[in-house]
């Protein structure tokens, strides 16, 4: 029995996230990490002339503090009681997952689009995407929501699960600290090219395996959601590199193929048009129901990743306890 104990926090944390998600009235560790990043960015810009070196120092500081805090907490909890340790680690694992939140927010777009309220759908999608939404019609809004679910399946759910399999909640905090930095300062524009370089490159490295594994799991899980796994593989093989990021198109292409949709393409950011290649084939018109299908695919792939990560956790740590 003791060999299965290391996997309990992963499974409990995943179940908690699926049931309750992120409570909005309780401080979230990711928000605290975000504040740390924001404060350190101001410090580096004010005190250091070499922003590339400053960005590296910022990144290392965020990673160390973001992993040291949960590690210290868990050492204390496990020292007092195994049950207390498992409970604390389960809660921390739950905090690092975003399946419920991703589904809840994207479904707001789905319901508004289904009811014909394009402006409500636009407001809802603006909360989960970084692009300008004012120029989007109903189909563009739905397509943006599908793309967000597809891409964040990895960033928000399966990649944290992957690192939980290697290092429990501490491994997930390590990953999310880098992923949060990338989302805040990992841009290639003039303002962030130097200070965010370390965050962007580190995020690319950490997501390399999880993004590709998640795309594979989407192909395997597609039939469970009554979607096309074979076409998911075909589009993934063809379009997985159709993005500036080496990882973002992995899950997006698998999802596009499974749904027989064309995603991506040109998009507006901060009033500027960015030319991007398409992902997938325009086999049929997009519809609000596709957001539900994308969420089904997200959950199915996440369950498969949970099984893999729980098994890895037992193999790696089961013999140590």
Question: What pLDDT, on a 0 to 100 scale, did the predictor assign at position 179?
Answer: 95
Q: Write out residues in the chain with pLDDT < 50, as ranges.
A: none
**Which SS3 state, helix, strand or coil, does residue 267 take?**
strand
Question: What pLDDT, on a 0 to 100 scale, did the predictor assign at position 22?
Answer: 78
Question: What pLDDT, on a 0 to 100 scale, did the predictor assign at position 67?
Answer: 97
Q: Which residues pair with 274 in a beta bridge?
A: 267
Question: What pLDDT, on a 0 to 100 scale, did the predictor assign at position 190?
Answer: 80
Structure tokens at 97: 């997952």
Rounded to 5 degrees, what are φ and ψ at 186?
-85, 45
Contacts from 224-227 at CB under 8 Å and sequence distance 24+? Answer: 224/300, 225/258, 225/293, 225/296, 225/297, 225/300, 227/258, 227/259, 227/293, 227/296, 227/297
Question: What pLDDT, on a 0 to 100 scale, did the predictor assign at position 128?
Answer: 83
pTM: 0.92
Q: 284, 261 in Cβ contact below 8 A?
A: yes
Question: What pLDDT, on a 0 to 100 scale, did the predictor assign at position 134?
Answer: 77
Helices marked H in the chain: 8-20, 29-47, 51-80, 82-95, 99-114, 118-126, 138-153, 159-185, 197-221, 229-239, 248-259, 289-317
């Amino acid at each position: 029995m003791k060999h299965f104990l290391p996997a309990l926090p992963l499974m409990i944390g995943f179940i908690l996230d699926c049931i309750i998600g992120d409570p909005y009235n309780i401080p979230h560790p990711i928000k605290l990490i975000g504040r740390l990043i924001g404060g350190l960015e101001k410090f580096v810009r004010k005190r250091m002339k070499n922003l590339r070196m400053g960005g590296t120092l910022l990144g290392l500081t965020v990673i160390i503090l973001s992993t040291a805090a949960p590690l210290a907490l868990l050492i204390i909890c496990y020292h007092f009681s195994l049950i207390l340790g498992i409970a604390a680690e389960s809660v921390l694992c739950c905090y690092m997952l975003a399946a419920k939140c991703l589904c809840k927010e994207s479904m707001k777009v789905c319901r508004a689009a289904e009811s014909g309220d394009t402006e409500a759908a636009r407001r809802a999608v603006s909360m989960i995407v970084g692009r300008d939404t004012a120029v989007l019609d109903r189909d563009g809004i739905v397509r943006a929501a599908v793309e967000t679910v597809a891409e964040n399946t990895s960033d928000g759910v399966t990649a944290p699960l992957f690192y939980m399999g290697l290092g429990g909640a501490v491994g997930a905090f390590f990953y999310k600290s880098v992923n949060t930095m990338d989302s805040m300062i990992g841009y290639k524009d003039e303002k962030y090219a130097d200070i965010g370089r370390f965050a962007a490159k580190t995020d690319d490295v950490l997501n390399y395996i999880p993004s590709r594994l998640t795309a594979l799991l989407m192909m395997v899980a597609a039939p469970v959601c009554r979607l096309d796994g074979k076409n998911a593989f075909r589009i993934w093989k063809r379009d997985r590199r159709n993005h500036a990021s080496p990882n973002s198109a992995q899950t997006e292409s698998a999802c596009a193929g499974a749904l027989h949709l064309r995603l991506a393409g040109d998009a507006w950011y901060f009033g500027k048009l960015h030319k991007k290649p398409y992902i997938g084939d325009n086999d049929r018109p997009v519809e609000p129901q596709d957001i539900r299908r994308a969420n089904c695919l997200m959950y199915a792939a996440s369950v498969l990743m949970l099984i893999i990560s729980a098994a890895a956790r037992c193999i790696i740590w089961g013999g140590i306890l």
